[in-house]
Every structure is written in structure tokens, then in C-alpha cells.
């Protein structure tokens, strides 16, 4: 089922747009990830509920988290919401592996 992909907030969308000039390679990878997620919101890896960082749950009020691997050292995280009519993939952030490990306590 195809889904609609949105950003969690306007600041994140603007940061994404700034990647066009600041890091074109990462921008392209995020665009490709968004297209894959649009085609199938369940494309990423699902994080078990007990492993979702509490700060992410609190900040975004979510109950599910998905991880999409970008290039070697980058990850995109998103959540899925919706109904029978529409699946909505909400992009929460992308981060390098160092920040990813810190967030998940590795």
C-alpha cells in the first residue's frame, strides 16, 4: 500500500531542503529513502517497542519506530500512523551513526 510521507515539523523539512546545497549526496539518499517509504511504509526495520528511546516517544508521542539505513554511517528514523484509508509515514530525523548509537544507548 502506498503511503504519504511528511516531515514531523517544518524545521526538519527546511533542514532537508538545505541538504541540496550542503550535502547533495545525503540529500539524494534521503530522497531515495522517501520514495521507498512512499511505496511501502514498512520498508525499514521496525524497532521493538521496548527499545524505542523514551526521549523519542516523549518528543513525538509515538508508539512505533522504523529505521531506514542510508549510506554507511547514516540512519533515517520515522513512525507510521494512519487508518484503513491512508498510511502516513512521518519522518522524525536522520543522523550519523555516532548520534544513532548515542540515541539507542549502544
pLDDT in 10s for each residue of the chain, 106 residues: 788 899 999 999 999 999 999 999 999 999 999 999 999 999 899 999 999 999 999 999 999 999 999 987 899 999 999 877 677 888 888 888 888 888 888 7
pLDDT of residue 11: 93
Total count of domains within the chain: 1
CATH value at residue 28 = 3.30.2310.20
Q: Chain-centre distance of CA 8, in angstroms? A: 9
Could you list the residue range(s) of the whole structural domain that residue 35 is in?
Answer: 3-97
pLDDT of residue 86: 72
Angstrom distances, CA of residue 52 to CA of 9, 47, 92: 20, 6, 13
Amino acid at each position: 500500500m502506498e503511503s504519504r510521507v511528511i516531515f514531523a515539523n517544518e524545521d526538519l523539512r527546511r533542514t532537508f531542503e538545505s541538504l541540496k546545497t550542503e550535502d547533495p549526496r545525503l540529500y539524494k539518499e534521503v530522497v531515495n529513502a522517501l520514495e521507498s517509504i512512499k511505496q511501502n511504509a514498512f520498508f525499514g526495520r521496525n524497532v521493538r517497542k521496548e527499545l524505542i528511546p523514551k526521549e523519542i516517544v516523549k518528543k513525538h508521542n509515538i508508539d512505533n519506530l522504523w529505521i531506514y539505513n542510508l549510506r554507511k554511517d547514516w540512519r533515517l528514523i520515522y513512525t507510521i500512523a494512519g487508518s484503513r484509508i491512508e498510511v502516513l509515514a512521518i519522518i522524525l530525523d536522520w543522523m550519523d551513526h555516532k548520534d544513532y548509537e548515542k540515541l539507542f544507548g549502544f
